[in-house]
Structure 1
Amino acid sequence: MTLPDRSALSRRDYLRALVAVGGASALSACLSENDDEAVDVPSGTDDPDSLPSRQHAWNEFLSRDDDGNVQLPEHHVLVALSLSTEPSDDARAQVEDALRALERAYEWSNEGLVFTIGYTPAYFDRFDGSLPDSVDLPDPEPIVGDADRFDEFDAILHLASDHPEVTLEAEQGLFGERDEFNGRGIETDLTGVFERVDERRRTGFVGAGLPANHTDLDGVPESIPDEAPSLMGFRSGFAESQAPEDRVTIAEGPFAGATTQHVSSMGLNLRQWFEQDSQHQRVQKMFSPEHAEENAVGTTGEKLTTTNGLTDERIAATEADASDRGVVGHAQKAARGREDGKPPLLRRDFSTVDDDRPGIHFLALQEGIEEFVRVRQAMEGTDLDVTNLNNGITGYIFVNRRGNYLVPPRSLRALPPTNPTETE
């Protein structure tokens, strides 16, 4: 791909665009851009026992906003992987050594690098037998009639850091295209075990001001707030509206300490969202009619602190709001999927302008995929008496592709068998 035009972009947006392009030339440009503002990336550890046993244990190691909510790293890459050899003890050792090299080079934090590797149902289909009953990992399928394109490669690597050059360097080094990680020599990589599925590579960003940097694209209107942290304009990831990591962890069986991951790649109709709807209407549709009436949100969600404000009463009023007010909120509908008043999903989604089009890579962690499906069906709101354009944000998002993954505990992340207690 052609590198972005530096003269037409802010420094921050230029670095984001380089992550989206990927490759050695993008990394070189990224490092050159940083020459004048050298970034000191903290090193990792030589002691694997000092790292969490769960791959998805990020929260303790990430930064927090002023309200105490976990802040995801700014830059994200999803690297699709296809297995190029049969799983074996040698291949597993190679994968583990390659991933350990990342952990030695980069601190497990947003200032360094956090990552996971997850495996599709298609990966596990190569083995005899089936996954244990404690793992709920079905093949992806359409939900309420949406996307019929699915991730059917073998695995996905999620790389995330506040520093764009870290995600690029990690990706390049894992595939033999760089000699060092953060100044440390690379002895083992993934070549010969995995191949990248380049057409399924996905990138994105999180952070106030980043979405407004993309108004040069046809699908991103000038009216997006300058301080917006997401392409749809509002904050998310409130601590009390997210499942804790313990809640999304598989508690029993051979994969205890694992989690399941769902990734939906979605396009956004931002012109209609920002140019035809008023701020009042956007708040109604994103949160609830009561949020809008009470002016409880602010321009980008700055009035909300650690919760999205969905009380039991507001959630229970969803059906009545649909029939009496003719509008319901996205968060309001999705909250109907809670169990005992608590959310079952831990969202780590991020905005994207892959292919120069606005979208979201919706990444959710949960104990089992059935929980994602339940929440997704609640969010769709097909049971509600309301028009599509007033049914939350369903009229503004378009699911293009879905994928389900098992993210094993760290001890089983390198080419896991279907049942680690048995010989495969």
Structure 2
Amino acid sequence: MLLYLNLDGEGPPTSEQREAVAASLTTLDRAYEWSHEGLLYSIAYSPAYFERFEASLPATVDLPAPTSLSDFETPTFDTQDAVVHLASDRADAVLEAEEALTGQQERVNGIDVEARLTDAFTVDSRRTGFVGAGLPAQNQNAAGIPDSKPVPEESPLFMGFIAGFVGNQATEEYVTLDEGPFAGGTTKAIANIRQRLDDWYGEQDYDERVMEMFSPVHAEEGLVEGVGANLGDNSGIDEMLDDILDQAREHARVGHAQKAARANRDDDGNVRLLRRHFESTDDIGSDQKVASLHFPSLQRGISAFEEVRRAMNGTDVTAATPAVRQRVNNGILEYIFTRRRGNFLVPPRRHRVLPSPRPT
């Protein structure tokens, strides 16, 4: 669950607001074990929040305002002051924590609620989702998915494949800021993406979907079976990067993963982004169920995320072959539409409560 929050009032936070936020977060710490069986959560702050102060963020923090990252997207920018991310294997824990933070519970998991996050903030947007094989299939009665219900039972994604392979993810250590007052923290980019999968399942056969999700060679050599569980911890995408233009010319398609991976490695071959995406049926602003995706990404600086996202556009590939166009045959761009985007700083624990731009 993502709770987007606006701080009440103008200017910097007050001491009373800081006390309320500190007490509300401490309540969660006391009520739940810090684990996937208890509750995992973070609070992060936007560029707009830090504009409340006269001082600016230090150069060690790369946190620009959100922007459009392709010629064909027009997202609404999330400029709320903060976002709280709640996660657990237990849906009841997430919902109880939300109720404690927003004043709907006086006790949470046996602990008294002494203060509420809403004593300082107003909730602007509530967004929910799910993670796990089988859940997309159970929730595929949503706009954007064919009536034939094609999502495989074993898939963790509406698009029918595994993503977020361990070997294709940055480590927590890699994405952690290592200097400045926010050392120990990280940055978080969050997008909300609408999925329209009628053509994905209706016009593309299985091999074509493999080509567009991974790479043409993955399909040609039969590297992917079913949803891709046979790939183990690594999709093997690093081996498909050097001849990406030749593959596109030969097969008239380019893979989503191979485009992004070109920018998602540093000079030493380390993965730069730690993705924490989860599926959803949220249609932000309405009660309609739609196939969507919440895409939080953690990285040392937002610029890293922006470079990887721009690489997904595949502009060099469209120049290399007329078969690959701005969206068509260009990875999965034909089927996904960015509706929201926001950038945030996740402070280290010592500065998690309404920090100033240069805390001591």
Same fold flag (TM > 0.5): yes
Could you tell me how far 1:325 is from its partner in structure 2?
Answer: 2.1
Give the counterpart of 2:281 among 353, 360, 363: 353
| Distance in 1 separating the partners of 2:138 and 2:145 | 9
1:133 aligns with 2:59: yes
SS at match of 2:219: helix
CA distance change for structure 1 residues 353 and 148 in 2, over 3 Å: closer, same or farther? Answer: closer
| Distance in 2 separating the partners of 1:228 and 1:111 | 22
How many residue pairs match? The answer is 342
Q: Which moved more, 1:218-227 or 1:167-176?
A: 218-227
Give the counterpart of 2:316 among 348, 373, 383: 383
Aligned residue type for 2:291: P
Aligned identity (percent) is: 47
| Distance in 1 separating the partners of 2:300 and 2:97 | 28
Unaligned runs of 5+ in 2: 284-288, 319-323
Unaligned runs of 5+ in 1: 1-76
1:244 aligns with 2:155: no
Asked if structure 2 preserves the Cα contact closer than 8 Å seen for 1:344 and 1:371, the reply is yes
| Distance in 2 separating the partners of 1:357 and 1:261 | 24
Asked if structure 2 preserves the Cα contact closer than 8 Å seen for 1:205 and 1:350, the reply is yes
1:271 aligns with 2:198: yes
| Distance in 2 separating the partners of 1:183 and 1:192 | 21
| Superposition map of 1:90-129 within 5 A | 90-129=16-55
1:400 alignment partner in structure 2: 339
Asked if structure 2 preserves the Cα contact closer than 8 Å seen for 1:108 and 1:114, the reply is yes
RMSD over aligned CA atoms reads: 1.2
TM-score, normalisation: structure 1: 0.79
| Distance in 2 separating the partners of 1:342 and 1:116 | 25
1:178 aligns with 2:105: yes
1:203 aligns with 2:128: yes
1:305 alignment partner in structure 2: 232
Asked if structure 2 preserves the Cα contact closer than 8 Å seen for 1:223 and 1:275, the reply is no
| Distance in 2 separating the partners of 1:402 and 1:343 | 22
| Distance in 2 separating the partners of 1:147 and 1:202 | 20
Aligned residue type for 1:314: M
SS at match of 2:57: coil
| Distance in 1 separating the partners of 2:78 and 2:329 | 31
| Distance in 1 separating the partners of 2:241 and 2:349 | 37
Could you tell me how far 1:148 is from its partner in structure 2?
Answer: 3.8
Could you tell me how far 1:380 is from its partner in structure 2?
Answer: 1.4
1:320 alignment partner in structure 2: 246
CA distance change for structure 1 residues 218 and 372 in 2, over 3 Å: closer, same or farther? Answer: closer
| Distance in 2 separating the partners of 1:204 and 1:147 | 23
2:8 alignment partner in structure 1: 84
| Distance in 2 separating the partners of 1:202 and 1:267 | 13
CA distance change for structure 1 residues 218 and 370 in 2, over 3 Å: closer, same or farther? Answer: closer
